[in-house]
Amino acid sequence: MISGMLPLQKPAGPSSAAIVGRVKRLTKLGRVGHAGTLDPAAEGVLVIAFNRATRLIPFLPTDKSYHAIVRLGITTDSLDAVGTVQQKKKVPDISATDIAAALQRFVGPQMQKPPLISARHHQGIRLYQRARMGEVIEPTPTAIEFYRLQLLSWQSPDIEFEVDCSRGTYIRSLARDLGACFGCGAHLYRLQRTLCSGFSLEESLSWESLENILQHGCLSEVMVSPAQALRQLPDLTVEKAVQQAVQNGCRILLPESKEIYRDTWYRILDLQGRLLAIARPEAMEMKMERVLCPSDEERL
Instruction: Indicate which residues carry an active-site annotation.
Output: 39
- Report the alpha-carbon distance of residue 214 to residue 218 in Å, rounded: 6
Helix (H, G, I), strand (E, B) or coil at 249: coil
Residues in contact with 156: Cβ distance below 8 Å, sequence separation at least 6, in sequence order: 72, 91, 94
CA neighbor of 205 nearest in space, from 24, 25, 46:
46
What single letter denotes the amino acid at residue 295? S
- Count of positions (residues) in the chain: 300
- Report the alpha-carbon distance of residue 213 to residue 275 in Å, rounded: 25
- Report the alpha-carbon distance of residue 240 to residue 245 in Å, rounded: 10
- Per DSSP, which regions of 31-118 are E strands? 32-35, 43-50, 64-72, 74-76, 85-88, 108-112
Q: Are 35 and 50 in contact (CB under 8 A)?
A: no
Residues in a beta bridge with 179: none
- Report the alpha-carbon distance of residue 154 to residue 95 in Å, rounded: 8
